[in-house]
Amino acid sequence: MTAATGIGARVLRTEDKRFLTGTGRYVDDLPLARATYAYFLRSPHAHAKIKSLDISAAAKMPGVVNIFTGKDLVDAKVGGLICGWVVKDKHGEPHKAPAHPVMAVDTVRYVGDTVAMVVANTYDEAKDAAEAIKVDYDVKPANIDLAKALDKGAAQVHPEAPGNLIYDWEIGVKADVEAAFAKAAHVTKLDLINNRLIPNAMEPRAAAAEYDKGTGNYTLWSTSQNPHVLRLILSAFVLGIPEHKLRVIAPDVGGGFGSKIFCYADETMVCWAASRVGRPIKWTAERSESFQTDCHGRDHVTHAELALDKDGKFLALKVETIANMGAYLSTFSTAVPTYLYATLLAGQYTTPLIYANVKAALTHTAPVDAYRGAGRPEATFVIESIVSKAAAEMKIDAAELRRKNFIPSTAFPYQTPVALQYDSGNYPPIIDEAMKIADYKGFEARRAEAKSRGKLRGIGFSSYIEACGLAPSQVIGQLGGGVGQWESAQLKFNPTGNVQILTGAHSHGQGHETTFAQLIHDKLGVPMDQIEVVHGDTATTPFGMGSYGSRSLAVGGSAIMKAADKIIAKGKKVAAHLMEASVADVEFENGMFKVAGTDKSVPLAQVVFAAYVPHNYPHADTEPGMDENAFYDPANFVYPAGTQICELEIDPETGTTEIVAFTAIDDFGNIINPMIVEGQVHGGIVQGVGQALMEGAVYDKNTGQLISGSFMDYTMPRADNFPSFKLGYKVTPCPHNPLGVKGCGEAGAIASPAAVMNAVHNALAPVGVKHVEMPATPLNVWQSIQGAQRQAAE
Amino acid sequence: MSISVAMTVNGKPASGKVEARTLLVQFLRENLGMTGTHVGCDTSQCGACVVHVDGKSVKSCTILAVQAEGAKVVTIEGLAASADKLHPMQEAFRENHALQCGFCTPGMVMSAIDMVKRHNYQLDEATVRRELEGNLCRCTGYHNIVKAILAAAPAMKSAGV
């Protein structure tokens, strides 16, 4: 081990070389001999009955191998797609669970719903043949507008969910909160829309499958963040292929952000059809197909109220939210606006009483599920928006109001009124550091200077908390989650001393191949180039839960450390034998086993060799080999926290917003590789700023057509939308995992929408603008300014 | 598959039979098996497929394979001088952590090299950010990509590439 490559070092990534030389292997890159290609016919209507479906002409088109429809799946008794998290409503009843057929049988429920699968010798032939499928649709009224989805008279999406209501859920005691409001000196009210987003990982979703007739084994390659979970769902609920006969491989995956957690119709079909077609099948989504069929994110309509005393102390918070589920319940959709949202509404504050009511609604739109942050960005946006609004109304400095209400560092572990117990944190030094770096004191002078140039300058805070490192299983189970949330690791040494770390986590950009290697390099002293991280293949890695919810290091990394402890424990026995010492006297340090108080030592590599060539070996109490596995299930979530400050300028003539400075100070606990952590924060900030200023999924409110269905219509953040970011860290180690780490993958996206929108409102306050919804596009901002001016003139 | 097409790819002759509608990127990926060049969209927005055609950066989804007849094409696979010696732009991306999932990376690197050359190895941050308008990245927030390109410009000049 050296300081240059161990824990805390900026180690360059081992995976980069293949990505930089074009030798990465993504699903679409697989060369599969005799492959066929699939194309999916998607519904062009948001809501329609399928009166008839005629594939006869298409089946005769050149190159067509097979065509499958929803009826074929019914005949084959294929199960429906599942939602794996049961949320109980306020009466204790489980959520409504409408059927989710893999392909539509008699009804289509959103633009993009899957109608038929064409398999042909080439992709173009499959696509051409799909055009020849004749579908006679009886188009029905669609329910698109979330705010009206639960109204009487709204078009019904599923008969199993009357009134389109999936659940009416609550947390907290409403009467106590109301009593606190009655005594409040000030009440701040806020109505907001958390805009719907389309994840848009740069690699479109893809699947390929192969069936081995001789063994009856299926292999499915999928752009998955969690191949074992995908296999479990397909085996146990959908296809009935026994788990041991289905191998799922998620090779290099080009970004996920949540959208590749879920079990989708298309990959299910590719797997199922592989045995029927008798040749490998490949499918890769076109981008417009991704826009229509990837699970979308966010999409809340919320009313919130904050009660304060005369000094600005928070007395109570109440929140009413309608959350969009889309047309079907995706894999984890029900948990996102409840346990990942309302339980975070305490934020960094001592608010003693909180009540939240969440109604989940069906609409004729694509399914909505977890997207980077998943519930926590929505919670942070509610809290941090209403706190800044309260500060402006009460004429208290926005930082001062936050500080006044922060949970004090002496109060941890801190039990919030919304179920979570924060394990650690120290918030005041974070905001102090952020204000220093952002030169908050100098802001008014910069605002005045901007004004002289005709620009409106604003500054905004966002002090976020999140619960991530998804686990612990016991809590997840109590809340209705259908899976465990531990992580696994295996440390497999080879006789020559090099080692494979097999992890149940999955890297799709996060750099696990480097970070995880650093852990073992640091702990066991194995050189970095003697370590390989293996992930993403159910045939080679231990069963694992995959990567999402910023869990890979806190849970998966901890499992690796546990396995390393087992290696050391076993190695001590072997080393004691080799050095003719007592096991109790053997210590392990810097890759060497030593007999305490002597100069006797033996390197780990020699111990490993002895374990595989056990000619001189303590056979009586030690097995040969050096191969240990571990499962880690933590005691609690981890709780990263931080403060972001956004400073921006708005041109009132055009409504354009320019971010001029952006500061983020985070507490991620101990940091293994700061270079990788910074990269995660940069990317997260940009996704959050994208939500605040640019991105928005727009469906036509009558027809349900996806208006923002391509990169020409959906504004993706680009390089020239941003300045360089200023980052910093404060460290309070997580007290309950062996690495003292918290998660860093989602923080940027969780905090930044509120930082930006608070800055927008701060900038626009002098011209009388009260509220701007996200995304604050130039048109949206310009219209807000015009509206305020008109109102002032009247 | 009726039309013959021939070009030079990364210094070697390459030929094959294509349909009239076959795009250059499809020819590279499917006929030649060179899968380093990626497809991230269907509207020529994302830039994952950028290659060099006769010394200029081109989105290989915007031209037909037959339009590249006789051209000199360079892809991400053709940049590194050897397995151990990366192009200065590739090296700068590595040193500055300018890639995460790696999917946009080939197009980013090809665009960046062309950008540096067009600006005669002299770039500032605002120029780099503006010039990246044709390349989307969802992971990095662009911060480290901009840093990498600014670092690569003088390195390319001194390496004479």
Scan for tokens 């750099």, then name that residue: A511
Of A201, A509, A719, the CB nearest to B129: A719
DSSP element (H, E) containing A421? strand A421-422
Q: Give dist(CA A712, CA A779) in Å, integer.
A: 17
Q: Give dist(CA A367, CA A364) in Å, integer.
A: 9
Of A23, A679, A711, the CB nearest to B144: A679
How many whole angstroms from its chain centre is CA A742? 15
For an interface test with B, give the residue of A20, A552, A685 to mutate (most B CBs within 10 A).
A20
Write out pLDDT tens, residues B28-38. Answer: 999 999 999 99
Smallest CA–CA distance, residue A511 to chain B, in Å, is 7
- Tell me whether residues B42 and A288 touch, CB distance under 8 A: yes
SS3 state of residue A367: coil
Residues paired with A420 in a beta bridge: none
For an interface test with A, give the residue of B1, B143, B144, B150 to mutate (most A CBs within 10 A).
B143
CATH of domain A34-90+99-140+202-255+260-293: 3.90.1170.50
Q: Where in chain B is the domain with CATH 1.10.150.120?
A: 88-159
Q: Which two tokens stand for residue A267?
A: 């990959």
Of A22, A255, A711, the CB nearest to B106: A22
Fold of A297-470+636-793: Aldehyde Oxidoreductase; domain 4 (3.30.365)
Fold of B3-78: Ubiquitin-like (UB roll) (3.10.20)
Q: How far, CA to CA in Å, does B82 sit from each of A645, B76, B90?
A: 45, 13, 12
Phi, psi of A147 (to 5 degrees): -60, -25
**Which of A101, A110, A36, A102 lies closest to A291 in space, CA to CA?**
A110
- Residue in A closest to B45 by C-alpha: A711
Q: Which two tokens stand for residue A274?
A: 């592989």
Any idea how long chain B is?
A: 161
Same fold, A16-21+486-632 and A297-470+636-793: yes
Fold of B88-159: DNA polymerase; domain 1 (1.10.150)
Average pLDDT, chain A: 97
Q: Which residues of chain A have pLDDT under 70?
A: 1-3
Write out pLDDT tens, residues B79-109. Answer: 998 888 999 999 999 999 999 999 999 999 9
Q: How far, CA to CA in Å, does A705 sit from each of A101, A138, A143, A700?
A: 21, 16, 12, 5
CATH 3.30.365.10 is right for the domain spanning A16-21+486-632: yes
Q: Give dist(CA A73, CA A67) in Å, integer.
A: 12
**Domain residue ranges in chain A:** 16-21+486-632, 34-90+99-140+202-255+260-293, 297-470+636-793
Q: How far, CA to CA in Å, does A580 sit from each of A294, A570, A624?
A: 61, 15, 18
Question: What pLDDT does A445 receive?
Answer: 98
Of B35, B46, B139, the CB nearest to A29: B35
Average pLDDT, chain B: 97
For an interface test with A, give the residue of B139, B147, B149 to mutate (most A CBs within 10 A).
B139
Q: Give dist(CA A716, CA B105) in Å, integer.
A: 17
Question: What pLDDT does A780 receive?
Answer: 98
Q: How far, CA to CA in Å, does A273 sit from each of A36, A116, A119, A282?
A: 11, 12, 9, 11
Contacts B103 to A, Cβ<8 Å: 24, 26, 201-203, 254-255
Q: Give dist(CA A89, CA A86) in Å, integer.
A: 10
**Which of A643, A644, A666 lies closest to A744 in space, CA to CA?**
A666
Q: How many CB pairs under 8 A join A and B?
A: 181
User: From the CB of residue A43, how many other CB atoms can be counted at a distance below 10 Å?
Assistant: 23
Residues paired with A349 in a beta bridge: A406
**Which of A140, A463, A286 lies closest to B61 in space, CA to CA?**
A286
Q: Give dist(CA A672, CA A561) in Å, integer.
A: 13
Phi, psi of A484 (to 5 degrees): -80, 165
Q: Where in chain B is the domain with CATH 3.10.20.30?
A: 3-78
Residues paired with A594 in a beta bridge: A587, A601
- Tell me whether residues A508 and B101 touch, CB distance under 8 A: yes
The DSSP call for residue B93 is H
Question: What pLDDT does B1 receive?
Answer: 57
- Residue in A closest to B23 by C-alpha: A124
- Tell me whether residues A201 and B125 touch, CB distance under 8 A: no
User: From the CB of residue B90, how many other CB atoms can be counted at a distance below 10 Å?
Assistant: 28
Q: How far apart are the first and last CA of chain B?
A: 38
How many whole angstroms from its chain centre is CA A694? 20
Spell out the alpha helix ranges (H) of A376-531.
376-394, 398-405, 428-437, 443-452, 473-478, 512-524
Question: What pLDDT does A1 receive?
Answer: 45
- Tell me whether residues A725 and B141 touch, CB distance under 8 A: yes
Question: What pLDDT does A482 receive?
Answer: 87
**What pTM, to 2 d.p., does this model score?**
0.97
CB B85 within 8 A of CB B95: no
DSSP element (H, E) containing A751? helix A747-764
Q: Give dist(CA B156, CA A295) in Å, integer.
A: 42
Q: To the nearest 10°, the Cα dihedral for A385, A374, A673, A563?
A: 140
Q: Give dist(CA A365, CA A326) in Å, integer.
A: 5
